[in-house]
């Protein structure tokens, strides 16, 4: 792929705190967002679609310049002349996805005057009997959060189907060019006394060290990110969402609770009532809290996280634990910890990257599971048909630093689809599959109206 920008004029700015933490994480294997599409046909349409995407979003044509200690984001005035030549490949879509998400151009990029682009793309011809093609768009997470990674496939579908992008919804695109998350937060929302910051930093550190984890299988080897996919039928999805509504919790809390219960069950502890402590990271879209508020169609990274710990003895019901998860992050959000603690969490993230021994078994695991507060709902079957897209997935790497299981959930035309990412061989595919099988069973049983465990 040619990502040259010719003689285009550049404008630059220093990265903000959150962007900086992703810049530190990406070379090690956390912080690459992947949009993967399985196509019934390939060819020039895929290349044109990615080009149009970059033309519509200035952030997607940015380059990272300078040393890792003080990187800058540089934005050319025009889109690069990207080239996508279809490459024949013997791998299936899932195997290709895992290979592409672990292709780390930011770790291998040689320093140069233009730095490394934040977006790379690749197109493959899939082998028979499935045939077709696979399009992969790999984006540095510093410029692409969950909301952006869900909006961009919609645009790709529209472009592949012959429609265009642009209009009023992209007028705010200059927002991420001009400033990052911290620069756009209201000062009254992010203000925090120095003593409170110190107390919270100590608290996060202690909670992280005393939290239980899934057993680590191979801790001293090179790692990569793998994906286990979890799906619910339309009927099961409707039943689960209804149960969440009846119990006054979001799907993210139900998923977090089910994962904690499944993790504990998977350990087969000799003491049936033994208590374990698990950490859950809930990722929150901060667009509405910025000054001025921004819409979700702006390509950027404007997310924060709330981390909570929960003590589990294995006897909790799904909905009792889910309500505990919901109350914990909701109360923290009401107290604006997703805004006041951004600096603390970024600092701790960078320190852990520099000193893995600060984490349990030097595994760089920050939580058992990460979930997104908002559920992505995508009704795009008509667009998919026109675009010739058979399947698509949005996910991200997390084998350098992050949770044991990162959950990327969405409802596609009424059916729940979870892309669950994990670091390998720290956790094996078999181990994570067994945990997720238990998660699915717990959610199925919990959403059955006749099940006594609902109470």
Mean pLDDT of the chain: 89
Using one digit for the tens of pLDDT, what is the confidence trace for 95-123? 999 999 999 999 876 556 778 999 999 99
Closest by CA position to 25, among listed 297, 345, 320, 418: 345
Instruction: Give whole-number Cα distances, 70 to 32, 140, 145, 444, in Å.
Output: 19, 16, 21, 48
Which contiguous run of DSSP H or E holds residue 418? strand 415-424
The larger pLDDT score, comparing residue 323 to residue 41, is at: 323
Closest by CA position to 349, among listed 427, 301, 402: 402
Using one digit for the tens of pLDDT, what is the confidence trace for 367-423? 999 999 999 888 778 888 888 999 999 999 999 999 999 999 999 989 999 999 999
Position 135 pLDDT exceeds 80? yes
Question: In this structure, which CATH number among 3.30.559.30, 3.30.930.10, 3.40.50.10490, 3.30.420.40 belongs to the domain 187-454?
Answer: 3.30.559.30
- Quote the pLDDT of residue 336: 93
Position 43 pLDDT exceeds 90? no
pTM, to two decimals = 0.93
Which contiguous run of DSSP H or E holds residue 410? strand 402-412
Domain ranges of the chain: 10-178, 187-454
Position 166 pLDDT exceeds 70? no
Same fold? 10-178, 187-454: yes
CATH topology of domain 10-178: Chloramphenicol Acetyltransferase (3.30.559)
Q: Pairing between strand 389-398 and 63-65? A: unpaired
Measured between alpha carbons, how far is 104 from 21 in angstroms, rounded to an integer?
17
Q: Pairing between strand 415-424 and 133-140? A: unpaired
pLDDT band, very low/low/confident/very high, at 276 (cuts 50, 70, 90):
very high
Instruction: Give whole-number Cα distances, 410 to 128, 247, 271, 294, in Å.
Output: 29, 20, 37, 22
Work out the angle at residue 293's Cα, subtended by the Cα atoms of residues 287 and 296, and round it to the nearest 5 degrees. 45
Which contiguous run of DSSP H or E holds residue 117? strand 116-117
Closest by CA position to 300, among listed 33, 76, 79: 33
E runs forming strands in 178-300: 224-231, 276-285
Range name among 46-60, 383-397, 438-452 with the lowest pLDDT average: 438-452
Angle between helical axes of 342-354 and 194-210 (0-180°, round to 10): 50
- Quote the pLDDT of residue 188: 84
pLDDT band, very low/low/confident/very high, at 5 (cuts 50, 70, 90):
very low
Residues, the chain: 455
Position 169 pLDDT exceeds 50? no
Name the percent of the chain lying above pLDDT 70.
91
What integer is the mean pLDDT of 143-166?
87
The larger pLDDT score, comparing residue 170 to residue 77, is at: 77
């Amino acid at each position: 792929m040619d990502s040259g920008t010719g003689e285009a004029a550049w404008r630059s700015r220093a990265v903000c705190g959150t962007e900086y933490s992703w810049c530190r994480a990406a070379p090690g294997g956390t912080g690459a967002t992947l949009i993967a599409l399985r196509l019934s046909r390939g060819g020039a349409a895929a290349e044109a679609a990615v080009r149009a995407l970059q033309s519509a979003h200035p952030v997607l044509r940015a380059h990272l310049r300078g040393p890792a200690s003080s990187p800058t984001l540089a934005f050319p005035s025009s889109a690069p002349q990207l080239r996508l030549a279809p490459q024949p490949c013997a791998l299936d879509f899932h195997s290709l996805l895992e290979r592409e998400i672990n292709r780390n151009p930011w770790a291998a990029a040689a320093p140069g005057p233009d730095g490394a682009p934040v977006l790379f793309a690749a197109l493959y011809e899939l082998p028979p009997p499935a045939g077709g093609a696979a399009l992969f768009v790999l984006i540095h997470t510093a410029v692409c959060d969950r909301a952006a990674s869900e909006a961009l496939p919609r645009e790709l579908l529209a472009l592949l189907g012959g429609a265009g992008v642009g209009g009023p919804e992209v007028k705010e695109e200059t927002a991420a060019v001009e400033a990052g998350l911290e620069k756009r937060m209201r000062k009254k929302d992010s203000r925090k006394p120095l003593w409170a910051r110190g107390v919270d930093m100590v608290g996060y550190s202690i909670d992280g060290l005393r939290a239980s984890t899934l057993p680590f299988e191979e801790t001293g080897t090179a790692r990569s990110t793998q994906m286990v996919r979890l799906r619910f039928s339309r009927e099961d999805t409707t039943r689960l969402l209804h149960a969440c509504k009846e119990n006054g919790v979001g799907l993210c809390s139900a998923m977090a609770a089910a994962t904690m219960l499944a993790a504990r069950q998977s350990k087969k502890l000799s003491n049936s009532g033994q208590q374990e402590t698990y950490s859950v990271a809930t990722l929150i879209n901060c667009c509405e809290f910025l000054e001025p508020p921004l819409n979700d169609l702006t390509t950027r990274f404007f997310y924060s996280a709330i981390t909570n710990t929960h003590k589990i003895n294995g006897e909790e019901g799904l909905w009792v634990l889910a309500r505990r998860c919901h109350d914990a992050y909701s109360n923290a959000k009401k107290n604006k910890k997703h805004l006041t603690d951004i600096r603390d969490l970024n600092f701790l993230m960078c320190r852990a990257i520099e000193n893995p021994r600060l984490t349990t078994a030097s595994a760089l695991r920050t939580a058992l599971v990460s979930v997104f507060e908002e559920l992505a709902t995508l009704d795009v079957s008509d667009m998919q048909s026109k675009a010739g897209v058979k399947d698509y997935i949005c996910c991200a790497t997390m084998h350098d630093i992050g949770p044991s299981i990162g959950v990327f959930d969405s409802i596609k035309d009424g059916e729940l689809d979870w892309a669950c990412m994990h670091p390998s061989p720290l956790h094996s595919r078999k181990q994570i599959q067994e945990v997720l099988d238990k998660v699915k069973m717990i959610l199925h049983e919990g959403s059955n109206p006749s099940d006594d465990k609902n109470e």
